[in-house]
Structure 1
Amino acid sequence: MSVRFFLAAFLWFSPGVIAQAEGMTFKSVSNGGNCYHGCAWTVAEGEITAETPVKFTEFVEKGEAWPIMFNSTGGNVPAAMELARLIRDAGIETMVGTSAPYYDNWYEPKEGGICTDACAIAFLGGTQRLAGLKTFNYEFAGQLSFDRLNGAEILDSIAETNLTGEDRLQEQVEIGLFVNFLLEMGVSPEVYAKIAALAPGAKFEPSDQEARDLRIVTTADTDHPWRLDQLASGLMARTGERGEIDGLWAFCYKESFLLARTFSKANDAGEPCSDDFCFPDDDISEVFEGAKLKVGDKLFPIGHAQTLRDMFDGTKVFVSAVVPRQALESLPSATKVTMSPAADSRAMNAKATIFEWEWGSEFDPRIIDLALKNCISG
């Protein structure tokens, strides 16, 4: 990629970059939990400079790179593009957020993370991208925005200036190279048009829907689809393609309505395990006591819960809870299920992730309706 393109890209994207105290730094931190995913992340804060890609390469070579939590107002766009490619090559996820120590060397996420201008370009390198943060049992929104492109003004000036054919071609090549970068990152080239069309001083802050539609963020729309399946003498609604085990089941048994979380992984003791950690029986019984089920933005009481192992369809562990019929009827218009434990503590919140599940979009309510009309009789 040409030096001229890098210089032009810098002019396009960052005529008014907010100065920051130092170049971007990378630091691996943890909340002190013992889990595979969600307990550790990489704090990436400060201005993106020409030296940032080199610093990141050195950081990755130490083997400490976790999902990157960006908190930056931008900097050098060419360096941000290079950083994005390095992040993609390393197979690392990106998010937008901030965190701070809460005890000794342990960190916890905080609200208020931003990733603007050149940072937003680097953010696109993530193999999975979240315009906010989600680690362990924390979830906060973040601010993601792109600066105005001066490229629109450059192109407008072509009609008023006598440029050589080579100049005209170079302008088009520079735009094409950036669009190619977007395609390389799996992002819609419409992002270029959005940025180029901004008024002076304006920024493009994509809504949640725009971010999904333009593939700025990744979505779970097709990861956990819902379908209708047979369960003993009745029917159930369940997430996942055929053959998948991990997910949610919603069904009725005689007069009771149940929501179940299924696991394909278990430890030697037969305890269900997620990517984060395993759930001993004592933890399961404790976390359900007095907890509430949250379906979308609605809360429901949870009744009796039980754990079954080695289910007939190959499911390793099956944790079910009796819930109100309305909880299951609310599933089609929600995209997430969580538990709110009676005791609000880090330990209890960790255990409550046993029921956490999310999917990408609403689904046909007839799936639930049919499941609740065809109960298991015995």
Structure 2
Amino acid sequence: MGLIFFLLTVMLGLPCVATAKDMTFEIVYMNHTNVVVADGDITAKTPEAFQAFLDTSPFDGFRFVVALNSGGGSLVGGMRLGQMIRESGLDTTVEAYPPDATTGKPGYATRPGQCYSACAIAFLGGVRRAKPEEAKLGFHQFSSAGGSFEVRESVYMTEAVAQLMGATVLGYILKMGGEPELFTRLSETLPHEMWKPRTDDLTGLKIITRETFQDFEFEPYGQGVISYAQSAENVAGRSVVGQITAYCKAGVPYVLLSALKLEHGTDARTRTLIAEEQNGYVISAEGRGKPAKYGPGAVNVRMSEGLPLAELQLDARGVDLVTRGPVLIRVDFPAAVGAIFALRTTPSQRDLAALSAAFRLCFR
């Protein structure tokens, strides 16, 4: 894709006309998540500036999020920036970090950001992508003139550039995990207009990543069924749970937390520490009563080298919470161990039916 970007840069007459404020990059150090503040307009030189930032800035946190706040700019620059974000394993969000009055650097206070046009394209590069409720995210059609309107291109060259750019943008969207319809929607929005995705568009077109477990499947297990769901997006930083499985064993309800890949799991030493330090687990559901809390005896940390991490024993209260709506499940052990066994569910009615079926034999 690098050669295609180079050709498009030449053919589109980039760099574009100078913008009001070229994008800059600063780090705001948090607790376990450090923020890369990306503020300003995207130009053809923005990827170079980002690479220089990556080469010189200290990265000493567990997770990094690129907070984008930009009105847009160069489409090619946006795609290159997004590709670099993905290759660096960074997440993206749409937030602004106003400068601190004392230092002039981005402070800890935040406000909803805006990310339009080329910025929205760069946003797709995040491994995990989130848009705060009040933040603004918008897409529109690209221009084959690429912002270099003084160039009198032939009709043939304009059409050639448009077709090459269209194929490149579609390929980029698919590579970043978006749905093909996203390309259709932005292509239908004229360059002077802006399409701002609704909540269902954000999730349905995979503009933002789903960080909860849903779409539960089920299959036969003994005389009953098991129900399970996967979420690769839940595996990031110290969070290692990629699958949850619900089942009934010897009349007792359980949920099993598992990794998706061996390299995403925990080593034998870490599992030993977790088994020794864990203090039970909690199932909580906001707005549906008190959480269900369980002691260490309800947690069985799997000590094999396989994918399972921990088997959690439930009771009627826990089953009721899990099968009636969204929940947060978290095993309690010190953060210093270096892993997190936690997940959230946002089940549909079909998912709730699948989970209920998995526990049916427990309560005959």
Task: Give the TM-score normalised by structure 2.
Answer: 0.65
Distance 1:114 1:213 in 2: 21
Q: Which residue of 2 aligns with 1:72?
A: 70
After superposition, residues 264-303 of structure 1 pair within 5 angstroms as 264-265=265-266, 268=269, 270=271, 281=277, 284-285=279-280, 293-294=284-285, 298=288, 301-303=291-293
In 2, the alpha carbon distance for the partners of 1:190 and 1:316 equals 37
Q: CA deviation at 1:302?
A: 0.2
1:219–1:184 CA distance, 2 compared to 1 (3 A): farther
Counterpart in 2 of 1:238?
228
Which residue of the other structure, out of 220, 236, 243, is the alignment partner of 1:247?
A: 243
- Counterpart check, 1:308 vs 2:306: no
Distance 2:71 2:275 in 1: 40
CA contact 2:65–2:90 (8 Å) conserved in 1:
yes
TM-aligned CA deviation for residue 371 of structure 1: 1.8
Structure 1 segment 112-131 matched on structure 2, within 5 A: 112-126=112-126, 128-131=127-130
Of the candidates 135, 143, 164, which is equivalent to residue 177 of structure 1? Answer: 164
Task: Say if 2:42 is the partner of 1:59.
Answer: no
Q: Does structure 2 conserve the Cα–Cα contact (< 8 Å) formed by 1:53 and 1:79?
A: yes
Q: Distance in 1 between matches of 2:328 and 2:66?
A: 25
Relative to structure 1, the CA distance from residue 265 to residue 189 in structure 2 (aligned partners, 3 Å threshold; closer, same or farther) is closer
Tell me which residue corresponds to 1:210.
Answer: 201
SS in 2 for 1:318: strand
Q: Map Cα deviations across residues 207-250 of structure 1 (whole Å, 9 max, x no partner).
A: 2332344443455799985334637x865433349xx9853243
Displacement after TM superposition at 1:180 (Å):
2.0
Q: Helix, strand or coil for the counterpart of 1:115?
A: strand
Q: 5+ residue gaps in structure 1?
A: 34-38, 134-139, 153-163, 273-277, 342-346
* Paired residue total: 322
1:356 paired residue number: 343
Q: Who is 1:81 aligned against?
A: 79
CA distance in 1, matches of 2:118, 2:138: 9
Residues 299, 56 of structure 1: CA spacing in aligned structure 2 closer, same or farther, 3 A cutoff?
farther
From 227, 230, 236, give the equivalent of 2:218: 227
More strand by share: 1
What is the letter of the counterpart of residue 145 of structure 1? Answer: G
Which stretch of structure 1 is more off in the superposition, 200-209 or 311-320? 311-320
* 3-state SS in 2 of match to 1:375: helix
Q: Secondary structure at the match of 2:285?
A: strand
**Quick one: which amino acid aligns to residue 308 of structure 1?**
N
d(CA) in 2 for partners of 1:299, 1:170: 64
- Distance across 2 between alignment mates of 1:250 and 1:109: 41
Distance across 1 between alignment mates of 2:51 and 2:129 = 22
